[in-house]
């Protein structure tokens, strides 16, 4: 049985998988980037929780990361569309179906990466902050 933390990360990956871009979780960057873009979800860091004692709860602001990558002649427009679709998907379900207290993304900081013999990549890491509480820090 998966832990609540794993369930939340799986729900975030499922949300990303519903987008037109290819969504992976914890994988390496493949040799080819799909025309619609590529999203790689990294589990990130749960950070130090705030603790309440009655009842005992650990309140996390977990920072997961989405690596967004596009390639091709229209990479600026494709990247913009991809980021907007991530934002729209998160805005539509700020609790991931009730699994989190709140989900919010930080603005991307895009970079252009040259690729020898191919069109350059446009990529960014988008931090997604998952606010949730657990009864056990290992859960």
Quick one: DSSP state of residue 27? P
Q: What is the pLDDT of residue 53?
A: 95
Res 39 pLDDT > 80: yes
| 41-77: pLDDT as tens digits | 999 999 999 999 989 999 999 999 999 999 988 999 9
Residues 100, 90: contact at Cβ < 8 Å? no
Domain 4-134 has CATH 3.40.190.10: no
Are 12 and 25 in contact by the 8 Å Cβ rule? The answer is no
Neighbouring residues of 20: CB distance < 8 A, sequence distance ≥ 6: 36, 37, 85
Residue 80 tokens read as 């913009």
The CA distance from 82 to 123, in Å, is 11
Instruction: Map out the domains of the chain as residue ranges.
Output: 4-134
Per-residue pLDDT for 32 more than 90? no
Per-residue pLDDT of 102-137, as tens digits, reads 999 999 999 998 888 777 899 999 999 999 999 999
14-18, 71-75, 86-90: range with lowest mean pLDDT: 71-75
Contact, 132 vs 4, CB < 8 A?
A: yes
More confident residue, 139 or 123: 123
Task: Please determine, for residue 139, whether its predicted confidence score (pLDDT) is greater than 80.
Answer: no
Pick from 7-11, 15-19, 82-86, 119-123: least confident: 119-123
Q: What is the pLDDT of residue 58?
A: 97
92, pLDDT greater than 90: yes
**Which residues, in sequence order, are bridge partners of residue 23?**
39
């Amino acid at each position: 049985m998966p832990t609540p933390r794993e369930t939340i990360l799986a729900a975030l990956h499922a949300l990303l998988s519903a987008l037109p871009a290819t969504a992976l979780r914890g994988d390496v960057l493949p040799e080819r980037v799909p025309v619609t873009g590529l999203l790689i979800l990294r589990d990130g860091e749960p950070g130090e929780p705030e603790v309440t004692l009655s009842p005992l709860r650990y309140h996390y602001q977990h920072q997961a990361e989405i690596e967004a990558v596009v390639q091709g002649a229209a990479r600026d427009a494709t990247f913009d569309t991809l980021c907007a679709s991530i934002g729209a998907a998160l805005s539509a379900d700020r609790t991931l179906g009730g699994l989190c207290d709140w989900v919010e993304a930080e603005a991307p900081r895009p970079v252009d990466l040259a690729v020898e013999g191919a069109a350059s990549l446009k990529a960014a890491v988008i931090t997604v902050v998952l606010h949730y509480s657990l009864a056990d820090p290992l859960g």
